[in-house]
Chains A and B, each alone.
Chain A
Amino acid sequence: MIQQQAPRQNNNPRAQDFSEQLSSWPPELVDRRLYGVDTGEVRRELKKPSRSPETLLRLLSPAAEPYLETMAQEAALLTRQRFGHAMQFYAPLYVSNYCRNACRYCGFNCNTHVFRSSLSQQEALQEADYLAKQGFRHLLLVSGEDPEHVPVEYFAQLATKLRSRFASISVEIYPLRQHEYARLISAGVDGLTLYQETYDPDVYLVMHPAGPKKDFHNRLAAVEKGARAGMHRLGIGALLGLRDWRAEAFWTGLHALYLQRQYWRCRLSISFPRMRKAPGSIDPPCPVDDKAIVQMLCALRIVLPDADMVLSTRESPQFRDNILPLGVTRISAASRTNPGGYTFQEDTSGQFEVQDTRSLQHMIRTVYQKGFEPVLKDWDQALQTQQLQ
């Protein structure tokens, strides 16, 4: 009989942590470098792109804009080579919008007067049941940051009850400690999504004036704690619109390259959440247009051929349909962004406004017609290396 293994660790003392690496690419330097690239450098990169920060920086520069079509062709080709035609679906399940943070861009920040609720286990199961009946097999549990309303054990118990119905359960919740991530994994959670929002520490401080989220480095370190605890899937991203997108996309890619090298057993995904107006939140200080999303998606795909690229229902149907072939590999459908939104709280406001309201069935048909194979299940609880409890 084969012995159960603990997740393997990297014990190499030379391993550098990401905040150290990030500090060697400070905002002034990145901005200066991005805006100093010339077209000759871009042309050379496109001839033989490397999987390095330097390549990424050049492809994200204004100088690369004239080569957007070339980049898109390359990105589409790489995606087809590495992922074939598979397009994987997931659904978010908002379990609580109680929050102690004052994030200025968020409709659920602690200063807004929205209807607050946390789902009971029974209510959460009812919502999940609805999603399972729609056909979803990959579930993302989402909550605000208020462990009094939804402690770690809440998610663990929920995952334990859900894991027979879903092939994959991920969490997008407040940062945890490594042993807490391990607890979730033992309950059947296999993925962790945690957006840094902005990789610029100064902008971060302005956007997060109060609450536990104020701590930039605590948030930055949490993804790695999840990886060390044994999470299979790591999701990262910056909230687009808080700062010039070029640098944010660069740091996101830097983070991904780092995680890929350090935690090579983990599957990475990068999201492109574009800030949407929500009641009680500020307007995006640096709006990001469609062309920018295309450039960052293509640049990141060229440097990270194996990362999942995620596009949520924040985006319009037309934009989603057009951008799918450029490197997107995971999408959500018919999302509700408020607790209970699927089955009993249809009317309260969500974290952000959903632009693409097409049903899963509709999306499956659309994706299929565009030449993709809709994949509802792409993982299995049996593949969880850690023992389930």
Chain B
Amino acid sequence: MHRLNINGYSFNSRLFIGTGKFAAGPVMAEAVQASGTEIVTVALRRVDLNEPNSQQAPSLIERLSGSGVHIVPNTSGAKTAEDALRIARLAQAASGYDWIKLEVTPDVNYLLPDPVETLKATEQMVEEGFTVLPYVNADPVLCRQLTEAGAPAVMPLGAPIGTNAGIRTQDMLEIIIEQATVPVVVDAGLGLPSHAAKAVELGADAVLVNTAIATAGDPVNMARAFAQAVRAAEQAVDADPRGEQKLAEPSSPLTGFVHNHDTTAGATSE
């Protein structure tokens, strides 16, 4: 596989980690490190930009600082393009963040993304110079529009967030991947390392995992397992798999005679 490259930055790991659900205390930071990830998303609504040191317990950002991971704030909580823009601008002004994972999710229960507002926000954010990674439903046309609007990657969902259901949008993801001209990061719904491996085997450039790691009994080992699965799938793709065969290859072919006994070519051909 090509090395993962987003907007000129290349990454060794194809596993991104989300943090909204948090594993308990320092475990999340340990899990992040065990995963080998280079991109961690953090909800801006959880970050105190005015008084960063006001939290009584050390924040995840503090725990991760110096570990070399790239922190990408997300716009979780935004219900409109305008909400997302406001919070992204605030984060940029306060802390210089210019990579944003765009989430516009007016449905507060299933956190399903609003395609119209996501596209609007992407257009505006690109114009303002952000590197925007939009979270979207597995909608191929929308992914093309976002790409044309300047998104350097798209993040379609595999299943509703938090469900651990695996890849339920496979047919649409395959179309998105086939048509993609930017990296495709499968986000949301991946519950097991095998789901992440499958996404990469389908041709996704990366995956983002949160719930499956944060809520596992042993988040650190689960993070490691995801990393290994993603790496294994990457190696499998590089090894050029033969893929599924719908038809068997018979040992006594029915069409062998066209090669062996071509009646029009005369008997001398042998």
Name A's B-contacting residues (CB within 8 A): 1-2, 4-5, 80-86, 135, 137, 164, 167, 260, 264-267, 305-306, 360-361, 364, 368, 371-380, 382-385
Contact = CB atoms under 8 A, between A and B. Distances in A.
Contacts of B22: 84-86, 373, 375
A80 B23 CA distance: 10
A368 B57 contact: yes
B128 to A, nearest CB: 11
A135 to B, nearest CB: 5
Contacts of B78: 383
B79 interface: yes
5 contacts: A2-B82, A86-B20, A266-B108, A368-B24, A379-B77
B215 A81 contact: yes
Contacts of A2: 81-82, 85, 120-121, 124
A20 B138 CA distance: 38
Interface in B46-103: 46-48, 50, 54-57, 77-83, 85-87, 90
Nearest to B77: A383
Contact of A86 (B21, B87, B163): B21
Nearest to A372: B24
B44 interface: yes
A84 B211 contact: yes
Interface residues of B, number: 42
A377 B107 contact: no
B88 to A, nearest CB: 9
Contacts, number: 113
Nearest to A4: B82
Q: Name the residue among B47, B56, B120 with the largest chain A CB count within 10 angstroms.
A: B56
Nearest to A267: B108
A385 B82 contact: yes
Residue among A81, A266, A373 with the most chain B CB within 10 A?
A: A373
Contacts of B163: 81
A373 B24 contact: yes
A83 B109 CA distance: 11
A167 B87 CA distance: 12
B90 A378 contact: no
Interface centre among B24, B47, B83 (most CB of A within 10 A): B24
Given A2-B120, A377-B48, A360 B56 contact: yes
A330 to B, nearest CB: 14
Contact of A380 (B45, B124, B164): B45
Given A373-B24, A382-B90, A135 B46 contact: no
Interface string B106-133: 1111000000000011001000000000
A32 B85 CA distance: 52
B21 A374 contact: no
- 9 closest A-B pairs by beta carbon, nearest first, are A84-B21, A373-B22, A371-B24, A306-B109, A382-B87, A382-B86, A383-B77, A380-B45, A80-B215
A266 B108 CA distance: 7
Contact of B215 (A5, A84, A361, A385): A84
Interface centre among B46, B55, B106, B107 (most CB of A within 10 A): B46
Nearest to A3: B82
Interface in B121-161: 121, 124
B108 A264 contact: yes
Contacts of B21: 80, 83-86
Contacts of A266: 108
A164 B214 contact: no
A164 B50 CA distance: 9
